Each structure stands twice: as C-alpha cells, then as structure tokens.
Amino acid sequence: MDTQLAQNTAARKERLIALRRRKEAHEKGESVTATFTFKQRNFDPETRQARKATAAEDTVEKEVEGLAEEIVREDEDRRAEELDLFNIQPRRPNWDLKRDMTARMGKLERRTNEAIATILRQRLREQRGGAVSEQVDLVAGIREAEAERDRAMASEEDSE
C-alpha cells in the first residue's frame, strides 16, 4: 500500500514539475515541445494507463439491437390471434341491455334475499310461538317432504 502511494506521489510530483517548466517557458516566450505526446484514443488520463482494445463500452445500439425485430414479431403474433375467424363471435342484439341491467339486478337480488330471510324468521317465530311444546325439527320436515315426493313419483310410475 505504501509503495503504491509513494509511486502515485512521485508521478504527481513529476507532472507538477513538467507543468511548471512549461509555464515558465511560455512566460519567457520559448516554446517547449515534448518529444512524444499521448493521444487520448489509446490512453486514459484519469488512470494514467493505456486503454485495452477489447474494453469497448456498452452502447445503446448494442442493447436495442434485437428489440425492433422482437416487437415486430410480437405484433404479428398478436394480429394473427386477433384475426382468427374461429374466435370471432357476433354479439347478441341485447348484450348492452344485459350489461345495463346487471347493476340493477344485483341490488334487487340483495333485497330479495333479505326479504326471504325476514319471512323465514317470521314463520319460525310463529311456529315456536303457536306450539311451544312442539319443537320445530327442520331436518325431519325435509325428510318427510322428500318421502312424499318419492311416493308421488312412484305412484306416477305405477300408473303408467
């Protein structure tokens, strides 16, 4: 670490001395030309080292190189899907009426469900209040209704 710092300071001192000499020569009117000047295309002044030929910077052109072809390909695929005649279906004449009525029907359906629930609660209260000693057994009632329906269907089949 110390050797690298020492090298950097020595190189900086040399550059400062060279700048002082140029300045003095310029003030005196003498022209001092260096025997060799670095051209910036192969030399990096920040790192004070030669640039490598393979260290090319990434450019926008390289990043966007295949993007145009990809976009065109995707667009063609999308258009091919859109123009598929088997997927095209005409709309029914009343599609807009159905669309307009869905919001209204949603409100009415909610109100209808609330009304049905209220009526069922009232009937259950009436049954409990009218016959306090009798317990309302909904499962038994459903089974009786199913049995009656089965008997009715069996009698219809026998009559045929």
Nearest to 138, CA basis, from 151, 129, 128: 128
Nearest to 48, CA basis, from 20, 11, 18: 11
Give residue 94's pLDDT.
Answer: 81
Give residue 37's pLDDT.
Answer: 64
Give residue 61's pLDDT.
Answer: 80
Report yes or no: 44 and 51 within 8 Å, Cβ to Cβ.
yes
| SS3 per-residue string spanning 3-35 | HHHHHHHHHHHHHHHHHHHHHHHHHHCCCCCCC
pLDDT digits (tens, 9 = 90+) for 32-79: 555 666 556 777 777 878 777 665 666 778 788 888 889 999 998 888
Give residue 133's pLDDT.
Answer: 44
Report yes or no: 43 and 50 within 8 Å, Cβ to Cβ.
yes
Per-residue pLDDT of the chain (160 residues; tens, 9 = 90+): 678 888 999 999 999 999 999 888 888 876 655 566 655 677 777 787 877 766 566 677 878 888 888 999 999 888 877 666 666 677 777 888 888 888 889 889 999 999 999 999 999 988 887 654 455 577 777 888 888 888 888 887 777 6
What's the number of CA atoms in the CB half-sphere (13 Å) around residue 71? 5
CB atoms within 10 A of CB 63: 9
Q: Give the chain's end-to-end CA distance (angstroms, integer).
A: 109
Give backbone dihedrals phi and psi of 56, rounded to 5 degrees, phi first: -80, 140
Structure tokens at 18: 């060279």
Q: Give the domain ranges of the chain.
A: 2-82, 107-159
